[in-house]
Amino acid sequence: MNAYGLGVAVLHAVEKCTFGFRSFGAGSIIAPFPRLVAGARYVSIGERCFFGAGLTLSVRDEYLGVRHTPAFTVGDRCMLGRDLMVACTHAIAIGSAVTVADRVYIGDSHHGYEDPDVPVLDQPMTGQAPVAIGDGCFIGVGAAILPGVSLGRGCVVGPNTVVTRSFEANTVLLGNPARPIRMYDRGKRAWVP
């Protein structure tokens, strides 16, 4: 078997592997060699989704003895790029037909850092707040979506943008922290600053 044939065989094998997810839609694929898939039983994937190589999916129901009730859902026809990192201890919902570029972080909580004498890694998760990414959104390369963010349908998040608060549908966001640079005005049927 040549290298191409081996690559197709590996991709086909991963396509059939569901990692024990709560649900894994028909035609969905996780590219070979994810870095981590933890808490798969709390994950629901829609149909015809693609996850690029290097996926880190950490959906934790317990950390440092503290219990959590996580849920991570992805709608149908989503394209999620390479090296995606998802950290979920509460609730993250990605709608349908969402595009997430490479090296994106999506998290609904963060490590505590209050005790300066304890390594951050050894402090409990805190700041839990649900994350919702609406249907048809586009998340650019290197972006970060932080706890409590809700993005309306069709939002566009530019490269390296850090989204710390919620935005309405059809808003284009840039910067750190994210700021709106234009929105679609349905009354005017045009994009406005």
pLDDT at residue number 12 = 43
pTM score > 0.85 for this model?
yes
Does residue 16 carry a pLDDT above 50? Answer: no
Cβ partners under 8 Å of residue 13, min gap 6: none
Cα angle 98, 103, 106 (rounded to 5 degrees) comes to: 60
Domains of the chain (ranges; CATH) run 3-192 (2.160.10.10)
Cβ partners under 8 Å of residue 185, min gap 6: 191, 192
Does residue 64 carry a pLDDT above 70? Answer: yes
Q: Give the separation between CA 46 and CA 168, rounded to whole angstroms.
A: 24
Quick: pLDDT tens for 101-152. Answer: 999 999 999 999 999 999 999 999 999 999 999 999 999 999 999 999 999 9
